[in-house]
Structure 1
Amino acid sequence: MGLLKKLKERRPPVPESAARHLDRDERALAWAQATTGQVVVATPQGLHVVGTDGHRLIGWHEISKGVWKDGLLSITESEPIDDHQIVDRAPWSLAFDEPGNVPVILRQRVERSIVTTRYYRLSNGAVWLIGRKIPGRDGLVWQYRAERGLDVSDATTKAEILDALRIEDEASRPADL
């Protein structure tokens, strides 16, 4: 029997309280129960967070940052402001005695969702352009994160940003299709 098969057989199943929120064909990559009772399940689609107050599925492309330190998993989600602009929400945290592979899978999946980043200078500031992959969708989703102090409501600035996004999107598409 292979080592991977042995490890999979030893891993306890996802608790029913969380498993019922997964799609029938959705595969759990890792799961852990927080010290406060919430269950997090990492799947190819994202991070399921299940607690007494409900269930949320956070897509990997919606997570800006995940940090594991001293038994605490801290997640910073991105918040869409419009079709392309994102900002960071306030981070939230859960404590774990035994996190399993959740921190490792979280890091891998968030990093894999980011296909490319570009720092783009504008006439009056700069933005980060981010091309992300969403499970089950073709192509990239383009987002931008404005540098502090940049007025993205300015029509000229907005036009520059949208032009930069268009250029990056066109450059990322296969030429032979």
Structure 2
Amino acid sequence: MRLPSLPVALTPRRRPRPPRDLPLEAGERVLAGVPGAWATQRALLLAAGPGWDRLPWHEVLAATWDDERGALAVESVRGAREVVLGEPGLLPETVRERVQSSIVLTRHVPVLGRRGVRVVARRVPGRDGLLWQEVADPGVDPADPRVRAAVDLEQRRLRAAML
């Protein structure tokens, strides 16, 4: 007996298989991905020449998906990067969820009018405690003594409030 075929919209999609050279750590598993970009529970892996660029979630500051261009733009503590992927599958949603789940707290500390420094507390998989990050707005020098004093004071307040 032959079963009727499902309409295309109801046909289950096959999840693409990650390449064999994808540098997974022990116990790490792929959550979503497409050729050129793979998300695991610990990091975003982006194709980089003959190898892979590994961006742990706590290093990803922002990521946006441009549906018209099929491009994933990633801003990390190492700089910005864009990868044209075409069909994204579940990658954009997975990236958003992983980045958001790493953030415990974020607070903007204004130091020059509205400009300032964003203080972020993040979880790092496999590590106890929180990682504290500071992301300066354009035109703000995080090494400036006045900026440093304001950020340090706010960070002490936030740490004390979390105890």
Q: Same fold (TM over 0.5)?
A: yes
Q: What displacement does 1:122 show?
A: 4.2
Task: Give the deviation of 1:68 after TM superposition.
Answer: 1.0
Aligned mate of 1:117, from 103, 106, 110: 106
Q: Shift of residue 123 of structure 1?
A: 8.0
Aligned to 2:135: 145
Structure 1 residue 12, shift from structure 2 partner: 4.2
Please identify runs of 4+ aligned residues in structure 1 that moved more than 4 A: 122-125
Structure 2 portions without partners, runs of 5+: 1-11
Q: Normalising to structure 2: TM-score of the pair?
A: 0.77
State the number of aligned residues: 149
Q: For the structure 1 residues 32 and 157, does the alpha-carbon distance in structure 2 shift closer, same or farther, using more than 3 Å as the test?
A: same
Partner of 1:170: 160
Instruction: Answer whether contact 1:142 1:169 (CA < 8 A) is retained.
Output: no
Residue type matched to 2:100 in 1? E
Report the residue type matching 1:61 in the other structure: H
Deviation string, structure 1 residues 16-38 (Cα, Å, up to 9, x no partner)? 132xx1123211001201xxxxx
Q: Which runs of 5+ in 1 are unaligned?
A: 1-6, 34-38, 80-88
Q: Normalized against structure 1, the TM-score is what? A: 0.72
1:61 equivalent to 2:58? Answer yes
Q: Deviations over 1:133-155 (max 9, x none)?
A: 11112222112223344343333
Identity %: 32
The match for 1:108 is: 97
The offset of 1:106, in angstroms, is: 0.6
User: Which structure would you say has the larger RCO, counting Cα contacts within 8 Å and 6 or more residues apart?
Assistant: 1
- The root-mean-square deviation of aligned C-alpha atoms, in Å, is 2.4
Aligned equivalent of 1:99: 88
